[in-house]
Amino acid sequence: MAIITGFPRIGKNRELKKALEGFWAKKIDETALHNVAKELRKAHWEIQKNLEFVSVNDFSYYDNMLDLAYSLGAIPERFKPYKDLELYFGMARGTNDAIACEMTKWFNTNYHYVVPELSIDDEYKIDASWIIAQYNEAKELGYKPKINLIGLFTFFALSKIVKGNPKDVFRKVKSAYFELIEELEKLDSNIVIEFSEPIFACGIDKKLGDLQCIYEIPAIECIYNHLSKKVKTIVTTFFEHSTELTEILLKTDIYGLGLDFVYGKKNIDSIEKIAKTNKILYIGIIDGRNIWRSDLETKLEICNKIAHKIPKERLFISSSCSLLHSPFSKESEVKMDKEILSWQCYAVEKVDEILLLESVFKNGITEANEEKWEESKNINHHRKHSSKIHKKDVQNRLKENININRSEEFVDRIAIQKEELGYESLATTTIGSFPQTPELRALRSKYKKNEISKDDYDNGIKEYIKDCVRFQEEIGLDILVHGEPERNDMVEYFGEQMEGFVFSQNAWVQSYGSRCVKPPIIYGDVSRPKPMTLEWSKYAQSLTNKIMKGMLTGPVTILNWSFVRDDVERKEVCKQIAFAIRDEINDLQNGGIKIIQVDEAAFKEGYPLRAENIKEYETWALECFKLSTSIAKPNTQIHTHMCYSEFNDIIKTIEDMDADVISIECARSGNSLLKIFKDIGYTHEIGPGVYDIHSPRIPSVDEMVEQIKLLLEVLPKEQLWINPDCGLKTRKWEEVKPALKNMVEAVRQFTNK
Ligand code: GLN
Ligand code: ZN
C-alpha cells in the first residue's frame, strides 16, 4: 500500500500559525495551543486514512530538527534555565538573555530548520514524550501510524558541534538516539519508523570535513542493523538519488527503502541491486514539492519498468519527499483561472494521486479508477497545448546576444560611486523592509477587496513611506530605504506585475516556524508589461536629500521561490525573469535612483545537492543575475543581499556576481563567515548583518560594538557596511526603532560622525 513521507502541518487555514502566534503573544494558553495541534493532526490523519500508514511526528510546533534535538536532550548551555515549551521556543526564537540557535535552509528547499548545537558536555537526557503522545493519539483514533524521524546521520551532519571532538560527540548523540528508539520500541511490538536521511542523497563526496569519518560505511551499516533489530525500519532519501548509499543500506537489515524518482532519476540504477534483496521499495514518484498535476502515464511507465525487476508485492507508491513543501489543498482556490487550476495538485490531491497511481499500478485500469485516470490524462493533454502558455516575443528575446558584464571593472566603478554617492566607511543601511504593521495589512486587504479606492491605498502607503524616511533621517542612517510597505512579499509583489504568473489565495507553505509563504505560480512565458517599483522609489527619493536605495528581487530568487512550470527548463524561465528585472533596473537608474539592491535571498536554494550538478546551475544562475544587473551604469551602485550563514561552497560564485556591495546574514555566526571572504581576497564591499532580525530581542549598543570589532578584525572598515541581518518586516516597530538606533550609535563609536 502507498505511503507519504509526511503531511503539511500548518493547517488548511494556517491554524497552527495563528495558534503559535497567539501563544507567543500570550493571547492563548498552552492548553489551547495543544488543542489546536491535536485537531490539526486528527484532520490530517483523516486525509491519509487510505494510505498504508498515517504519518506521526511529522507534526512540529516549530521544526523537526529542533524537535529531535529537544528529544535527544541536545540543549545548549544558555538554555539550561528553561524547560518545556519555554525552552523549546527559546531555542527557536531566542529569549531575553539567550540568543536563538541558528536557522538555515533545509537542503535545496525554502524550508528552514533550527541548527542543533552539540557539545560533548551535554547530558543528552532523552525525552520521548511528545512523540509517544502523538503516536497514542493516532492509535486511539483508530489509525495505523508510522513514526517519522530524522535519521541519525542527517541529524548529525546538519548540526553544529560547539564543543568536543566530532567522533566523541557522535558517540554520545548516537547513544541518546538509540535510547530514544528504545523508548519508542516499547509502544508497539511491530512499530514502524521511517527514518529520513536526505543527507544520503548528497553523495559521498559531500564535504563533511571532520565528519567524514562518521560516514564510514561500517558506521552506517552497523547503526541501521542495530535500529532494525528494535523497530521495523524504513530509510528514506530524497531530493536527489542516493545510489552510493543505497548500496550500503541494502546490506543492512532494514525493512524498506524510500527513494526519490522525481529529483533522483538515477535511483533507477539501483533497481537491480534492490531486486536481489528482499527489501520493500517505496517509489517516491509523486512530486512532494511542486503543485502540478502529475503526468500519471509517464509515472506508471517508470513504475512498470521497476516492476520488471522487482516483484510488485515489494513495490509501493509514495511521495518523492514529505508533502510539507506543498500547499494544503486546491479546494480553497475559488478565484484562480479554472483552466490553470485544473493543471494543479496540492497535498490533499497528491494523496489521491498516490492512491490512484498505486491502484492502477497494482490492478490495472478498473471500474473504480478509470474515470479519474482518464480525467488526469485529458487535463494534462490540454495543458500541453494551451495557448495561455506560449509567447513568441518573450522567446525571441531569449535568443538576443547580450554582454552580461558591467561596462567598467569594479575598482573603477567603486571609485566613481564613492565620489558620487559620498558615503563613508561603515556606512549604515537596512536590508529594505520595515515592519508590516496590522494597519498596513488592513490597508492592503481593504484595497484587494475593493473596499477602498486606489488613491486611498496609495495615500496610505505614502504616509508609511514618509514615516520610514523621517525615522531613518532622525536616527542618522546613511543610505535609506522606502520600507517596502507596498509589498506583502518580495516575490509575490513582482510576480503580480508580470505576465506568466498566477496567484493562489491560500496555497501557503511553511518557511520557518510559524512563517509561511505563498509562492507565485509560474505557468507560462514571463514578461513585464510596465515598471514595477519605479513610482514608489521615485516618491521615496523625493522626500529626502539622502540616497534612497531602490529595491528589487533578483531573477534567481523569483524563480526559486515560485512554483515553476515543469514543461520547460528552469534556466529558461529564469532568463525570462532576468530580462524583466534588467528593464526595471534601467528604468530606476534613469529615474534618478543611484543605488539599486537586487535581492538574491534564494540564490542558494537552487543549488543542486550533488557536486556533479553544481557547475551547470551556477553557470546559468550567475548569467541570469548578471543579465539583470549589467545594464547598470558605472555610477549606479548595485547591491545584493543574501540571507545565508554559509558561504564556503558558493563564495567564488558570489565574487563572480560582481555586485558592488553584498549584505549577508552574519549576526549569529560572529565573524567566522567574514573570514571566508577575506580568505579568497574578496575586494567588493560587504555589509555583514550585525544583529539577528529573526528574534524579537533588542540588541544593545555594546553588543553591536563588539560585533563590529569582530568584523574589523577581519576586514578594513573601508570595505564594510553596517546593517541588520535581513529585512525587518516581521518585526515590530517597538523592536526595530531601538535596535536601529543602537546600531547607528554603535557605529558612531568607530567613526567621527
Ligand atoms: N529586501 C527584502 C526585505 O528587506 C529582503 C528580504 C530577504 O532577504 N528575505 O524584506
Ligand atoms: Zn535576508
Q: What are the structural domain ranges in the chain?
A: 15-58+124-326+337-384, 411-748
* Rounded Cα–Cα distance for residues 306 and 284 (Å): 12
Cβ–Cβ < 8 Å for 211, 156: yes
CA of 106 to the centre of ligand 2 (A): 16
CA-nearest residue for atom 1, ligand 1, is: 432
pLDDT of res. 207: 47
Q: Which ligand is nearest to the CA of 600?
A: 1
Phi, psi angle pair for 572, to nearest 5°:
-70, -45
Those residues whose C-beta lies under 8 Å from the C-beta of residue 395, and which sit 6 or more positions away, are 525
Q: Is the CB of 641 under 6 A from ligand 1?
A: yes
Which pLDDT score, from 0 to 100, does residue 387 have? Answer: 87
Nearest to 443 by CA among 453, 430, 428: 453
pTM more than 0.75: yes
* Ligand 2 mean position, distance from CA 643 (Å): 4
Whether 726 is in the pocket of ligand 1, judged by its Cβ within 6 Å, is yes
- What's the confidence (pLDDT) of residue 217? 65
By most ligand atoms within 8 Å of CB, the mutation choice from 430, 482, 484 for ligand 1 is 484
Closest CA relative to residue 55, chosen from 383, 323, 425: 323
C-alpha cell at 322: 514529505
Rounded to 5°, the CA angle 53-271-361 comes to 50
746 Cα: distance to centroid of ligand 2 (angstroms): 21
Contact status, residue 231 vs residue 185, Cβ threshold 8 Å:
yes
Say if ligand 1 is within 6 A of residue 487 CB: no
- Protein residue with least CA distance to atom 9, ligand 1: 601
Residue 415, beta-bridge partner list: none
CA distance 246 to 10: 32
**729 ligand 1 Cβ < 6 A:** yes
Query: Which atom of ligand 1 approaches the CA of 433 most closely?
Result: 4
639, containing H or E segment: strand 637-642
Question: In the structure grid, which three cell numbers stand for residue 659, read together?
Answer: 555586485
Q: Are 282 and 258 in contact (CB under 8 A)?
A: yes
Look-up of cell digits 484532520: 43
Q: Which atom of ligand 1 is nearest to the CA of 601?
A: 8
449, exposed or middle or buried, with CB in 10 Å at 0-12, 13-18, 19+? exposed
Distance between CA 608 and CA 618 in Å, rounded?
9
Q: Please report which helix (H) or strand (E) contains residue 734, including its range.
A: helix 733-748
Just list the catalytic residues: 694
Distance 482 CA to ligand 1 centre (A): 12
- Smallest-distance ligand from the CA of 693: 2
Atom of ligand 1 minimally distant from the CA of 727: 4
Low-confidence residues of the chain: pLDDT under 50: 207-210, 213
Ligand 1 neighbourhood includes 254 CB (under 6 angstroms): no
Is residue 609 within 8 Å of 108, Cβ to Cβ? yes
Query: What does CATH list as the number for 411-748?
Result: 3.20.20.210
Tell me the C-alpha distance between 141 and 684, whole Å.
60
Residue 210 pLDDT: 44
Query: What residues form DSSP beta bridges with 444?
Result: none
Length of the chain: 753
Q: Radius of gyration over alpha carbons of the chain, in Å?
A: 26
> Ligand 1 center to residue 117 CA distance, Å?
27
What is the distance between the alpha carbons of residues 599 and 173, in angstroms, rounded to a whole number? 38
User: Residue 309: phi, psi to the nearest 5?
Assistant: -105, -35
- Exposure string of 474-499, with b = 16+ CB inside 10 Å and e = fewer, is eeebbbbbbbbbbbbbbbbbbbebbe
Judge whether 51 and 354 are in contact, CB under 8 Å: yes
Of 174, 46, 212, 196, the C-alpha closest to 109 is: 196
**Which mutation among 431, 556, 662 tests ligand 1's pocket best, with the greatest number of atoms within 8 A of CB?**
431
Residue-level pLDDT at 694? 85
Residue nearest to atom 4 of ligand 1 (CA): 727
What pLDDT does 214 receive?
Answer: 55
Side chain identity at residue 96, one-letter code = N
Q: What is the pLDDT of residue 205?
A: 61
Proximal ligand: closest to the CA of 645: 2
What does residue 250 show for φ and ψ, rounded to 5 degrees?
-65, -20
Q: How many angstroms separate the alpha carbon of residue 727 from the centre of ligand 1? A: 4
Phi, psi of 450 (to 5 degrees): 65, 25
C-alpha 503 to ligand 2 mean position (Å):
23
Residue 208: what pLDDT?
45
Q: How far is the CA of 85 from the centre of ligand 1 (A)?
A: 29
**Quick check: CB of 662 below 6 Å from ligand 1?**
no
Could you give the 3-state DSSP secondary structure of residue 515? strand
Q: Is the CB of 598 under 6 A from ligand 1?
A: no
Q: What is the structure's pLDDT at 213? A: 47
Is residue 198 lining ligand 1, measured as CB closer than 6 Å?
no
Tell me, using a 6 A CB cutoff, whether residue 599 lines ligand 1.
yes
Mean pLDDT (the chain) is 95
Ligand at minimal distance from the CA of 432 is 1
DSSP H or E run through 574: helix 570-590
Closest C-alpha residue for ligand 1 atom 5? 727
The Å distance, Cα 540 to ligand 1 centre, comes to 18
Question: Smallest Cα–Cα separation from 58: which of 115, 134, 137?
Answer: 134
Residue among 551, 726, 729, 740 to mutate when testing ligand 1 (max atoms within 8 A of CB): 726
Residue nearest to atom 10 of ligand 1 (CA): 727
Atom 3 of ligand 1 has which residue's CA nearest to it? 727
Domains 15-58+124-326+337-384 and 411-748 in one fold: yes
What atom in ligand 1 is closest to the CA of residue 641?
A: 8
**DSSP secondary structure, 656-694, as one string:** HH--SEEEE--GGGTTHHHHHHHHTT--SEEEEB-S-TT
Mutating to test ligand 1, I would choose from 433, 491, 548 the residue with most ligand atoms within 8 A of its C-beta, which is 433
Instruction: Give the whole-angstrom CA distance, residue 231 versus residue 28.
Output: 38
Q: What CATH number is given for 15-58+124-326+337-384 in this structure?
A: 3.20.20.210
